[in-house]
Copies of this chain bind each other. A is one copy, B any other.
């Protein structure tokens, strides 16, 4: 190795100048110079992971919880592909995840050597704002600065940068670019005429509906949205079940009506639907029903023009930061402009455990709703159980629930750890299905290694319920004979697997035992797992 600072040292200089104090990594031999350099940085934490799906999901969770860039350092194209499904989740959440990808030295790449693939970055292309490989050692600090600039510029999102081993081992040259002069994460104000047009529609509407999208939460506009709702008396939804990634309106508010659906009684009669920072809409299957109530005017706002009017037609499109959009509406809508609030339909009924022997997903949701508090973050990755969880769990703040609209199974296992690391004061509960569990058991290793007190609650119906539900909808021989191939994934003692990874764990079957188990494990403030056996034939309705 070289005597003085290397390019790997310069990479750490750049990261720390940008305030990055943790790097999530699943390393191989190409990362030696980087790992060596971290030994000189007691103020930088190397978070080791044992599978890239966890590396990326952790970085995504960390970025969501902090709003700041998070670095996932992967090894060659093989590590990259293992992380791509959760990079899709980061893309949809617009998380500023920087994927640094260790690559073999130039000559080994040229010779088609071990673990090389020409154009590795092309694999990342669909999931990132930009991807490229540093071509010279002296260009690396500039390239990394550019990656951080791009990831944090609105609309934010992941970026991929390839770093070959020989460049990282080369002597450092040149200065580190000043982050203050390269951080262009500027808010974009909406066109005032469009905001005025939207405000006029909102003032004139008799039955307005507001739909609070994830971008409202990400841009910190959720408190102003409550004011706007109260001023107008509008019925408010969070995003529809498929698009939903986090709450942007408190579900305990009397004007809250649930997750949006055009068929929902509180939406069907609306004369105005305002889709604020929503990804509208993510279809699961072809749906002949209109996505907005017929006859209703539609306003759609988003920081990314490409998201506006993607499926539903729009009367007023507004591009900009949601904090400035909602504030602009508040400035223009007179007090008491709207009708009085509709009776709330979104507040869940209180849950009481049955005395049955077998719990349901609804029992898990009900018991969770009893024990969680304002400082709880539920990271939800439970496929067919997502619906009942969204309906049941109180969501007072944008950090109450985090999920992904990407469908990438296993995301919640790692994302919960990233959230917990970023927000040590929060009580983080990962609620996942048993199928999902098998897409991320390696997260348990990380939880134990870093003693991250995440409680994993696994709803174990021993089924790919989404597959069975699809076979039911299909209505073929499977449904007629009640024989669902591809459904039965019984056979794992998930609590035992968790104990193998060093976590205290318990299997619960009776609904009445749920609140006690949850309270006990939450009070321990250490990584732990509760496996809840539910009915394999409780297929839910929400497919994978």
A-side residues, CB < 8 A to B, are 1, 25, 27-33, 35-40, 46, 48, 50-51, 53, 75-78, 81-82, 84-85, 88, 105, 107-108, 111-115, 117-119, 122-123, 126, 166, 169, 242, 282-286, 310-311, 405-409, 435, 438-439, 441-442, 445, 448-449, 464, 466-467, 469-471, 473-478, 481, 483-486, 488-489, 491-502, 543-544
Contact = CB atoms under 8 A, between A and B. Distances in A.
A283 B35 contact: no
Given A32-B470, A445-B491, 17 more contacts: A28-B544, A32-B473, A32-B478, A36-B478, A39-B476, A48-B486, A51-B438, A78-B85, A81-B81, A81-B82, A105-B285, A123-B126, A166-B286, A438-B445, A441-B442, A491-B502, A496-B499
Contact of A491 (B35, B77, B448, B493): B448
Contact of A111 (B126, B310, B441): B310
Given A29-B543, A50-B438, A477-B36, A85 B82 contact: yes
Given A111-B283, A311-B111, A491-B502, A476 B33 contact: yes
B493 A108 contact: no
A360 to B, nearest CB: 21
B471 A32 contact: yes
Q: Kindly report how many copies of this chain are found in the complex they form together.
A: 2
A415 to B, nearest CB: 15
A515 B409 CA distance: 40
B286 A1 contact: no
B32 A474 contact: yes
A438 to B, nearest CB: 4
A84 B237 CA distance: 39
26 contacts: A1-B474, A1-B475, A27-B464, A28-B467, A28-B544, A29-B467, A32-B470, A32-B476, A33-B476, A35-B467, A36-B477, A38-B485, A39-B477, A39-B481, A48-B489, A81-B85, A84-B123, A111-B283, A113-B282, A115-B406, A123-B126, A493-B501, A494-B500, A496-B499, A497-B500, A498-B500
Contacts of A493: 499-502
A107 to B, nearest CB: 5
A130 B419 CA distance: 41
Given A81-B81, A438-B51, A489-B50, A474 B169 contact: yes
Given A51-B439, A119-B126, A407 B31 contact: no
Nearest to A50: B438
Contact of A486 (B25, B408, B441, B475): B25
Contacts of A284: 108, 113-114
A438 B449 contact: no
Contacts of A115: 406-407
B407 A78 contact: yes
Nearest to A470: B29
A57 B318 CA distance: 48
Contacts of A1: 474-476
B126 A467 contact: no
A33 B464 CA distance: 16
Q: Which 10 A-B pairs have the closest CB atoms?
A: A496-B500, A497-B500, A29-B470, A113-B283, A36-B476, A81-B84, A32-B470, A29-B543, A32-B474, A27-B486
Contacts of A500: 492-500
